[in-house]
Amino acid sequence: MITSGDETLLRRAISIAAHAVTLGDAPYGSLLAGPDGAILAEAHNTVRRDNDITAHPELKLARWAARELDLDTAARTTMYTSCQPCGMCGGGIVRSGLGRVVYALATEQLVELNPQSGDWPTVPQDGPALFDEARAPIDAYYRPS
């Protein structure tokens, strides 16, 4: 359930997205609000500026959270973001330990506004293969004798 307090922080994320446009960056913004609701960090999309396909604000903030927050604080921290996180960012958010994400535009709504946003081809993956050879470094790391 999205509360009026959530909406206030979502509006801040949307304003970060709007400000990104004035800087020449893509229109996506996010922030982290700690357990008491205070804003801990903010970010916007800098994919073009940094020539870095991973420079989505959600992934930058997930990485920040994993680095800077203890597990308990991370679990009680919420990400507010102007658009629903993509698959790349979703994976980072899970690994960061953040407890909740609140977004404004759903992916389907974003794709309606900008069809290019949903135009990602699937990359074929072939495997598994070479099990005995591939397991050696895994065993060496997790089951040292």
Residues 106-125 that bind Zn ion (CB under 5 A): none
**Could you give the C-alpha distances from 116 to 8, 57, 74, 85, 107, in angstroms and in order?**
29, 19, 33, 16, 12
Q: How far apart are the first and last CA of the chain?
A: 50
Single-letter amino acid code for the residue at 111? V
Q: Which is nearer to Zn ion, 9 or 83 (CB)?
A: 83
The two beta strands, 100-105 and 78-83, are: parallel
Q: Which of 9, 20, 32, 89 binds Zn ion (CB under 5 A)?
A: 89
What token pair was written down for 80?
């507010």
Rounded CA separation 13/42 (Å): 8
* Segment lying near Zn ion (by CB under 5 A), choices 6-14, 17-25, 35-43, 80-88: 80-88
The verdict on 86 binding Zn ion (CB under 5 A) reads yes
Q: Which is nearer to Zn ion, 70 or 108 (CB)?
A: 108
Q: Which is nearer to Zn ion, 37 or 91 (CB)?
A: 91
Binding pattern to Zn ion, positions 38-77, x when CB under 5 A?
------------------x---------------------
Binding-site ranges for Zn ion (CB under 5 A): 56, 86, 88-89
